[in-house]
Amino acid sequence: SDDGKQKLNDEDTLDETEYALWKIRELKRIKQFNDEKNKYEIEKAEIDRRRNLTDMQRIQEDFKLGSDKTKMEDKTKYV
Amino acid sequence: MDDEQQEKQHLANDGRQMTLIDQIIRNKVFNCRYWKEDCFGLTAVTLVDKACKLDCVGATYSGTGKPVPFLCLLMKLLQINPDKEIIIEFLKSKDYKYISALAMFYIRLTSKPKEAYPTIEQFYADFRKIRIRNLDGTFAIWHMDELAEKLLSEEIIFGISLPRFQKRWILEELGQLEPRKSVLEEELQNQEQEQVQVAEQQNQEKDQEQGQEQ
């Protein structure tokens, strides 16, 4: 197992290829962070929208999406 | 004073530091040779000598889960619970990257997200190579920024479960953190400006051409 240690060199060269690779990683990080943040904000906006609906509107929307209670009850029937 | 006693004492002192590492791994560290031989009676000062000799980052390896010296020293740090200033000095060390990695781990385990995020994110701009030891005993090369990223984004690293952190944007929303400024930020902004300028020029040229045609 110590062979592996000798094979891998951890001396720093700090040359341009290293810098370029780092730059790619950094850009990926920024992009991933922004993507996840956007996802969270979209979800939050959706929750806010749902909260502002009246009861009737919400039930209608549930019915459209197929997540209303009547269908849920069907699933739990005994055989 | 043996390890268990010391551990209990720390628990009594509201330390609870050592319990941050799971008990199974903790016991493996207490029973390993490096801990008994090299880590006995270390202080924050003498620990530096040992940390200079580190050559890989990792926790345990092989089927029986042998602890890597890195983990033993991390446990020792948790045990002696040094001042924050000492840890910050560790972080700053430029010649010995494994000391910085050790301090990074320690901060991730012990500090609150509010402090841990900015301190660990400093290393996003650091592309020094470090050797890591996987759970199966093989070695690999990572960079400091990759380690920092994994520490902040993942819940388990090298089999050590890390305390749960809130996502960064939630802390930003609560006003506890400033948005992160990347080193590349200026460059990106400059590029965007250039692109806008180029687009404007092209538009102007098109307009002129159209004017001439008419």
B60-65 mean pLDDT: 86
Joined together, the tokens standing for residue B122 give: 């400093």
Token pair of B31 as six digits: 């029973």
Three-state DSSP string of chain A:
CHHHHHHCCCCCCCCHHHHHHHHHHHHHHHHHHHHHHHHHHHHHHHHHHHHHCCHHHHHHHHHHHCCCHHHHHHHCCCC
More confident residue, B163 or A14: B163
Nearest CB partner across the interface for B184, out of A1, A23, A33? A23
What count of residues does chain A have? 79
CB contact under 8 A, B127 and A5: no
The per-residue pLDDT for range B187-201, each reduced to its tens digit, is: 878 888 888 888 888
Collect all residues from A whose CB is shorter than 8 A from any CB in B: 1, 4-5, 7-12, 14, 18-19, 21-23, 25-27, 29-30, 33, 36-37, 40
Average pLDDT by stretches of 10, chain A with 79 residues:
62 82 90 93 93 88 72 62
Q: Please state, in angstroms and rounded to a whole number, the distance separating the CA atoms of residues B114 and B167.
A: 11
Q: Is B131 helix (H, G, I), strand (E, B) or coil?
A: strand
Alpha-carbon span A72 to A37, nearest angstrom: 32
**ipTM of this complex prediction, to 2 decimal places:** 0.72
Give the relative orientation of helices B97-110 and B69-80 as an angle to the nearest 10 degrees.
50
Q: Are B55 and A25 inside 8 Å of each other by CB?
A: no
Work out the percent of chain B whose per-residue pLDDT is above 90. 22
Q: Between chains, do A25 and B143 touch, taking CB under 8 Å as contact?
A: yes
Q: How confident is the model at residue B1 (pLDDT cuts 50, 70, 90)?
A: very low
Q: Which residues of A fall within a CB distance of 8 Å from B169?
A: 33, 36-37, 40
CA dist., res. B81 & res. A49, Å (int): 48
Name B74's Cβ contacts closer than 8 Å, sequence gap at least 6. Answer: B21, B102, B105, B106, B109
CB distance B67 to B73 below 8 Å: no
Residues in A closer than 8 angstroms to B177, CB to CB, are: none
B124-144 per-position pLDDT tens digit? 888 888 899 988 888 888 999
Residues in A closer than 8 angstroms to B138, CB to CB, are 1, 4
Cα separation of A31 and A27, whole Å? 6
| pLDDT of amino acid B18 | 82
Backbone angles phi and psi of A10, in degrees to 5: -110, 20
